[in-house]
Amino acid sequence: MFQQVMNFLSLWALPAIILLILTMGLIKKIPIYEVFTDGAKDGFKVAVNIIPYLVAIIVAISMFRASGIIESAEILFSGILSKLHIPADVLPLMIVRPLSGSAALGVFSDIANGADSYATKLAAVMVGSSETTFYVLAVYFGAIGISKIRYALIVGLLADIIGFAAAICVCNFL
Amino acid sequence: MNYIFYLLILVSIIFGAINGKLTDVVNAILSGAELSVKVAFSLIGIMAFWLGMMKIAEKCGLIEIISKIIKPVTKKLFNEIPENSPAIGDIAMNFSANALGLTNAATPIGIKAMEELQKHNIDKTSASNAMCMLLAINTAGFQLIPATVIAILIGIGYKNPTNIIAPTLLVTTIAFISAIILAKIFEKIWTKQTATSDYANKIQVKGGETCSSK
């Protein structure tokens, strides 16, 4: 039942929002075509503004992943992880998740290999409940030219860690 | 950010050398740079579309209506932002789009919200408390249905992919609430922003009034 409601919502959310905006614009006698194109003009500018910030973050993260450090960490921490009921495969996922969305999905696909295992479920919950923190930060702050990020990254990463810990607890007890 | 940027690259080069993967690390510079531009350019179209839509939504008063509805919540979370700012409505739209898994709509709307917050920022190069809060809400990745994950699980023949919905929703809620609480805590303990001389002059010219968004 919940599933059906959610499917319906995600199918109709976009068309409903678009229709609502346009209808309300017409009722209020707004020249919607002109206003739309006027607003849309900024699309290119915003995307171009983001480029330097994205290059900095994505290049650094690409280098980090290529260096093989994640695999090294997996070997190093495997002992501690097994004590905490964390399958060793899940560690790379936890490291990669805030760094790169596509890489995280790649690691997740490697873990989820058909078996209804604890590792698959844990990895699925971790991926589904978090975001690519570094990417969101680069895009959102890059668009408005913010370079001093203050505590934004710390909060994002701490929240990710809490989320991962919660995922481990929830998957162990539910 | 300066240290994080330096550390990420330093660690990559050191570990690349240890693991004998230095060539891969160097190649990653090119592929990463290329990917960044691809990502930015892939945003142009959808960004233009939603910025256009949001402009209509703002002009016809829809954003204002949404702002009024969620005022009790946003007043606490974004207490530096004036109640009538369009930022509040944009933030609400950004959150709803994220919750429904509409990432393509959420990002442009979120950026628009950031632009509105920037108008109230006292130092245009550093992130205001409100911006950090909006970012925390976004990086927490609150989502009602993890559609991508379920699609992958279905793809590999996982028996009951929908089994993960309830635990994911529980975990994502915990992470989301933690992010908000953490942002509020750090807001109190972190060094305050100092107004740039540019902004201070602006206020003086207006006779001590806070500068309006117009």
Give the mean model confidence (pLDDT) for residues A28-41: 92
Q: Are B179 and B136 in contact (CB under 8 A)?
A: yes
pLDDT at B208: 43
Contact list, B167 vs chain A (CB under 8 Å): 121, 125, 167, 170-171, 174
Q: Is the pLDDT of residue B106 over 50?
A: yes
Mean predicted lDDT score pLDDT of chain A: 87
pTM: 0.86
Same structural domain for residues A120 and A103? yes
**Spatial separation of the C-alpha atoms in residues A102 and A109, rounded to whole Å:** 11
pLDDT at A110: 84
Give the mean model confidence (pLDDT) for residues B14-23: 90
Q: Is the pLDDT of residue B10 over 90?
A: yes
**Spatial separation of the C-alpha atoms in residues B173 and B167, rounded to whole Å:** 10
A16: domain range? 1-40
Same structural domain for residues A14 and A54? no
Domain boundaries defined on chain B:
1-53, 61-205
Same structural domain for residues A21 and A56? no
Same structural domain for residues A35 and A61? no
Same structural domain for residues A82 and A156? yes
Q: Is the pLDDT of residue B22 over 60?
A: yes
pLDDT digits (tens, 9 = 90+) for B25-80: 999 999 999 989 988 888 888 889 988 998 898 889 888 888 888 888 888 889 88
Same structural domain for residues A4 and A36? yes
CB-based contact (8 Å) between B40 and chain A?
yes
Same structural domain for residues A46 and A84? yes
* Confidence band for B195, pLDDT divided at 50, 70 and 90: confident
Same structural domain for residues A66 and A138? yes
Looking at the structure of chain A, the number of domains it has is 2
pLDDT digits (tens, 9 = 90+) for A62-86: 999 899 888 888 888 888 888 877 8
| A86/chain B closest Cα distance in angstroms | 16
Q: Which residues of A1-35 are buried (b: 16+ CB within 10 A; e: fewer)?
A: eeeeebeeeeeebeeebbeebbebbeeeebebeeb
Residues 12-41 of A with CB under 8 A from B: 13-14, 17-18, 20-22, 24-25, 27-28, 30, 32, 35-41
Residues 168-207 of B with CB under 8 A from A: 168, 170-172, 174-176, 178-179, 182-183, 186-187, 190-191, 193
Q: Is the pLDDT of residue A51 over 80?
A: yes
Q: What is the ipTM of this complex?
A: 0.86
Same structural domain for residues A107 and A159? yes
| Mutation for A interface: B135, B148, B196, most A CBs within 10 A | B135
- Inter-chain contact B164–A121, Cβ cutoff 8 Å? yes
| Torsion angles phi and psi, residue A89, rounded to 5 | -60, -25
Question: Which of the two residues, A34 and B161, has the higher pLDDT score?
Answer: A34
pLDDT at A55: 92
Same structural domain for residues A77 and A150? yes
Helix axes B129-139, B103-119, angle to 10 degrees: 170
Q: Coil, strand, or helix at residue A148?
A: strand
